[in-house]
Structure 1
């Protein structure tokens, strides 16, 4: 993800309010999160950083000078583009939240089935339902990631020509925030819906792992919580052994906590996107 950032400074004029400097600082912080590993903690940290970034953008939009330039009729097209971009990000954020919430629902059903142990048939049915759901989500996630890539290309290909101008500086800042947001959402979607099956640690080697007893080990650190659960559940489908069920349950607990964190982070970003969109609409209606 780090390669996506051809980091250019917003170059907000020093005469602006200190909150302009804060926007640059928050952008730098968030970009370090995005370039880190795709573990649940790094994804969650990136979402928290994105919330702080939007808080600083909100302060920038409250400045009288910012509202004055954005409310000018001749700048309506620029603001309309920003509103359109914010709507697209809201849509993706909402869909990612749904994935995290639905995952928690399926994990809860699996927990219940494993605890009650009403029979191998019931557990296999619940497990198969989760695996089917995951396949569907991976397909949906792939389409959303493609959309995020296109958004990023758009933002990075059209920098403002005069960053020393207040209008250009503000618009460039907002565009970079949108670009950063789209990259973070791409990371979130890649975490929630891994697109590829690991060549040396995924589905193709499940049977081999089972025979070697490797599946009974704790989580593979090379995989995230979703991938670890995918592998553990595939072994449960193969054979309902107590040890494998216990491993699957432990991994489901880790996945549930991770999904809750991601959903919470996305919810915070969603609320801030709504707030920024409302601020822009208020400005152009002045």
Structure 2
């Protein structure tokens, strides 16, 4: 079920547009931090963030905002956010690689189950991958900073960046909880055929979820690159 947060018709004024984006960001922040959040929620979150970044880019490219962003004080804030955008792009790229590794791990699990072999080693490998990704994520997150900005467009970018970071973190956390060792015990496969079938179905659903997450992260990555290019073009087109 989709939960796109962007309105079908964009507001006509920058002020109303800004208010809408702020509302979207707050709504998404509340959604992804909810105890009832699921992988599907995160997949929708990636798409919603892509829409939000597109709205911010539209605001950023208006003539008045382009002039404002290039003023001396605002320009400094823009340059600082450009530096942080590189950190976020690195983080997204790392997470995309982690999602690919997790997807391959689940595919190996499926093959082992279909052969009727003990899947303990593959299960432990999946758990190691999620823990490694979470550790790497926390290390990279230390490079991100948030300073309150006077420039509203830059402030929206900074808030979107923080929510993007939270979305990636919560997604990894959910993926790490999808498999718990006790329920995957295959000690007596012969007497647990119904359970094994269920496990295979769960794995197939998990593989599908990871594919959706991977696709959403890729879309978001492209949006981040596009908005970074727009910022760079704005600064280079109006050199003070």
Fold agreement, TM-score > 0.5:
yes
Query: Is 1:174 aligned to 2:157, yes or no?
Result: yes
Report the alpha carbon displacement of residue 51 of structure 1 after superposing the two structures with TM: 1.6
For 2:85 and 2:183, the matched residues in 1 are separated by 38
- Say which of 249, 262, 274 aligns to 2:200: 249
Instruction: Please give the per-residue CA displacement for 1:208-246, whole angstroms capped at 9, x wherever unaligned.
Output: xxxxxxxxxxxxxxxx5x235x4443x02x444442432
For 1:15 and 1:56, the matched residues in 2 are separated by 12
Q: Which runs of 5+ in 1 are unaligned?
A: 1-13, 118-122, 194-223
Q: Which residue of 2 is the match for residue 263 of structure 1?
A: 214
Q: How many residues align?
A: 223
Q: Which has the larger radius of gyration?
A: 1
Q: Which runs of 5+ in 2 are unaligned?
A: 1-11
Give the 3 Å change call, closer, same or farther, for CA 130–99 of structure 1 in structure 2.
farther
Alignment of 1:106-185 (within 5 A): 106-117=105-116, 123-124=117-118, 127-145=120-138, 147-148=140-141, 151=144, 154-155=145-146, 158-160=147-149, 163=150, 168-185=151-168
Q: Which residue of 2 is the match for residue 207 of structure 1?
A: none
Query: Is 1:280 aligned to 2:210, yes or no?
Result: no
Give the 3 Å change call, closer, same or farther, for CA 38–231 of structure 1 in structure 2.
farther
Report the alpha carbon displacement of residue 251 of structure 1 after superposing the two structures with TM: 1.6
CA contact (8 A) 1:61 1:67 kept: yes
For 1:231 and 1:285, the matched residues in 2 are separated by 58
Which segment drifts farther, 16-25 or 178-187? 16-25
CA contact (8 A) 1:82 1:175 kept: yes
Q: Which residue of 1 is the match for residue 54 of structure 2?
A: 55
CA contact (8 A) 1:97 1:267 kept: yes
Query: Is 1:87 aligned to 2:86, yes or no?
Result: yes
| TM-score, length basis structure 2 | 0.80
CA contact (8 A) 2:14 2:59 kept: no
- Say which of 170, 178, 182 aligns to 1:187: 170
For 1:82 and 1:88, the matched residues in 2 are separated by 10
